[in-house]
Amino acid sequence: MKRTAIAALLSLVVGLPLGWITAMLLTPLLWRLEPVLHIELAGHSVPSDWVFYVVWAVVVPALFFVFKFVARSNRKGSGTDAARSDARS
């Protein structure tokens, strides 16, 4: 439970700025897609608000699963190292 809360907090703290940067970097692509899709994806200098929300909706959960995987692999790795050192003693 504690590792899940830490992963959730880290995914929000890292994901919000990372999502913003990702959306800003997508702006040239969004400008090229506007005439093709016939919807406004980006304004004069920044993406539309809904584009930010979609990017955050993808980035934050993805980071959560990455952080959960890292926490799980660290927990399993530390347990096997402790078991190996106990077996040697």
Tell me if 33 sits within 8 A of 51, measured CB to CB: no
Reply yes or no on whether the pLDDT at 87 is more than 60.
Answer: no
Reply yes or no on whether the pLDDT at 84 is more than 80.
Answer: no
Element (H, E) at 38: none
Can you give the length of the chain in residues? 89
Tell me if 52 sits within 8 A of 19, measured CB to CB: yes
List residues bridging with 47 in a β-sheet.
42
pTM, 2 dp: 0.74
88 vs 69, which has greater pLDDT?
Answer: 69
Tell me if 72 sits within 8 A of 28, measured CB to CB: no
Task: Please write the tens of the pLDDT for every residue from 51-79.
Answer: 999 999 999 999 999 999 887 787 765 55
Contacts of 8 (CB under 8 A, 6+ apart): 64
